């Protein structure tokens, strides 16, 4: 049973560029959340997708956008990259169908470096 998978694992971009990160949720999960983790910090919530729509959003600018596909996989897009966007981007999945508490499961992230 595959867990949450993210691609690519590492990425280097320059300021002003755009980037797309990808996530496949754990089998059976229908909800995907994205988090940004700066070095030495805890993950910060970016947004959550369910039924192909953004359901919740954290305190991130509109440069951060996302998408969820019918197969529940998701993309995170960041436009006009800034040096401060350098971080580990984590995807987490969960299921709304579970009747008991099921925590969000995380992938190993994409390490984004902005030069």
Partner 1 sequence: GESVGLHLPTLSVQEGDNSIINCAYSNSASDYFIWYKQESGKGPQFIIDIRSNMDKRQGQRVTVLLNKTVKHLSLQIAATQPGDSAVYFCAENLNRDDKIIFGKGTRLHILP
User: What is the contact surface with partner 1 in residues (CB under 8 A)?
Assistant: 4, 31, 33, 35, 41-45, 48, 56, 58, 90, 92, 94, 96, 101-109
Distance CA 79, CA 65 (A): 8
Nearer to partner 1, 4 or 114 (CB): 4
**CB 84, min distance to partner 1, A:** 19
How many Å apart are CA 2 and CA 98, to the nearest integer? 18
Minimum CB–partner distance for residue 115 and partner 1 (Å): 21
Cβ-based nearer residue to partner 1, 64 or 106: 106
Closer residue to partner 1 in complex, CB, 70/103: 103
**Residue 105 Cβ, how far from partner 1 at the closest point, in Å?**
7
Q: Are 93 and 80 in contact (CB under 8 A)?
A: no
Count CB atoms within 10 A of the CB of residue 9.
10
Residues 85/11, Cβ–Cβ less than 8 Å: no
């Amino acid at each position: 049973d595959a867990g949450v998978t993210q691609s690519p694992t590492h990425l280097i971009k320059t300021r002003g560029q755009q980037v797309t990160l990808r996530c496949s949720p754990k089998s059976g999960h229908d909800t995907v959340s994205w988090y940004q983790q700066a070095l030495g910090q805890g993950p910060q919530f970016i947004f959550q997708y369910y039924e192909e729509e953004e359901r919740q959003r954290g305190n991130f600018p509109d440069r951060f956008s996302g998408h969820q596909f019918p197969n529940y996989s998701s993309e995170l897009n960041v436009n006009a990259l800034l040096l401060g966007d350098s971080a580990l981007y984590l995807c987490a999945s969960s299921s709304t169908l579970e009747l008991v508490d099921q925590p969000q499961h995380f992938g190993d992230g994409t390490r984004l470096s902005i030069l």
